[in-house]
């Protein structure tokens, strides 16, 4: 594909995901809740991978790897987050965003939902998923050792995220754990095994894409941005701010446990 064709493909994909977000915004107006966006977000990245597939002629093995891995990741995570939303209702983070804009700027729910949630999420899904878009373009070379290492890393990430989410769900279901801090299993070695798993998935997908040539290598913007988001922006910071106020023992847990990369805990 020529550069113009590649840019056109990306532009069409961006238009599609923004269109999907506008439809979801209309749904949010009816529900008066935007929290379901977390569950839809990974499914949006799967959609971008799928609509890219028939418009490219990349190496079949690489394309199948990318599609299967992002499919397993997106379906597992999307179903998990949508189920959590149905069980627990509106997410306090989004409620705070809406209330803050209404109080400080006089914005309506609809304006805040559109400008602070759905349009940004569409753009960020498009950016993060660049590896599964650009990785499908080049026909050669075929998948080599770098790509297979990437596939292994993605599988490790899916497993880490899945196990971490399962351990947290089981912990929260036990009434005896109310107000306590989960510090066993994967949570003993990292405060955010789900975020770490997420990063592993997308760096793995990037390695698969990067082996295809300069176009795939350019998709590094996706995993870099995701890692920044998880570690410095809307991931660890916002999550831990809320937990500190509700769990007295969390400060001690923070002091001894790695924030992101799994590591043996520090001794008291």
Residue 247's domain spans which residues?
Answer: 3-256
Distance CA 180, CA 157 (A): 26
Res 99: pLDDT: 86
pLDDT at 240 over 80: no
CB distance 103 to 72 below 8 Å: no
Query: Do 243 and 176 touch, CB atoms closer than 8 A?
Result: no
Is pTM, for the whole model, over 0.85? yes
In a domain, 265, yes or no: no
Cα gap 166→35, rounded to integer Å:
20
Per the domain annotation, does 21 fall within a domain? yes
> Would 183 be classed as within a structural domain?
yes
In this structure, is residue 261 part of a structural domain? no
* Domain-located, residue 147: yes
Q: What domain count does the chain have?
A: 1
Average pLDDT over residues 35-44: 95
pLDDT value of position 91 = 83
Q: How does pLDDT run across 69-83, given as a tens digit for each residue?
A: 999 999 999 999 999
Position 174 in a domain: yes
Whether residue 264 lies inside any domain: the answer is no
143 contacts: CB under 8 Å, gap ≥ 6: 59, 61, 62, 65, 151, 208, 211
User: Alpha-carbon distance 25 to 13, whole Å?
Assistant: 18
Write the CA distances from 80 to 42, 109, 133, 231, integer angstroms. Answer: 11, 26, 24, 21
What is the SS3 assignment for 20? helix
Cis peptide leading into residue 252 (ω within 30°): no
Per the CB < 8 A criterion, the answer to whether 68 and 205 are in contact is: no
């Amino acid at each position: 594909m020529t550069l113009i064709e590649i840019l056109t493909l990306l532009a069409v994909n961006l238009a599609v995901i923004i269109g999907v977000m506008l439809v979801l915004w209309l749904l949010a107006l009816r529900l008066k809740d935007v929290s379901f966006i977390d569950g839809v977000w990974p499914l949006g990245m799967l959609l971008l991978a799928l609509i890219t597939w028939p418009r490219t002629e990349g190496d079949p093995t690489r394309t199948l790897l990318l599609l299967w891995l992002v499919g397993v990741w997106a379906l597992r995570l999307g179903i998990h987050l949508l189920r959590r939303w149905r069980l627990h209702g509106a997410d306090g983070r989004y409620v705070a965003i809406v209330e803050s804009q209404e109080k400080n700027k006089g914005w309506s729910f609809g304006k805040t939902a559109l400008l602070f949630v759905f349009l940004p999420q569409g753009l960020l899904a498009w950016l993060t998923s660049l590896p599964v878009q650009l990785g499908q373009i080049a026909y050669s070379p075929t998948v080599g050792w770098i790509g297979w290492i990437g596939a292994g890393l993605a599988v490790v990430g899916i497993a880490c995220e899945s196990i971490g989410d399962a351990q947290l769900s089981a912990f929260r279901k036990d009434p005896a754990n109310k107000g306590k801090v989960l510090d066993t299993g994967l949570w003993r070695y990292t405060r955010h095994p789900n975020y770490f798993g997420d990063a592993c998935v997308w760096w793995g997908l990037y390695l698969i894409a990067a082996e295809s040539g300069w176009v795939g290598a350019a998709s590094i913007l996706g995993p870099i941005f995701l890692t920044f988001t998880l570690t410095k922006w809307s991931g660890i910071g916002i999550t831990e701010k809320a937990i500190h106020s509700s769990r007295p023992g969390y400060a001690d847990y923070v002091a001894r446990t790695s924030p992101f990369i799994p590591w043996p805990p520090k001794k008291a």
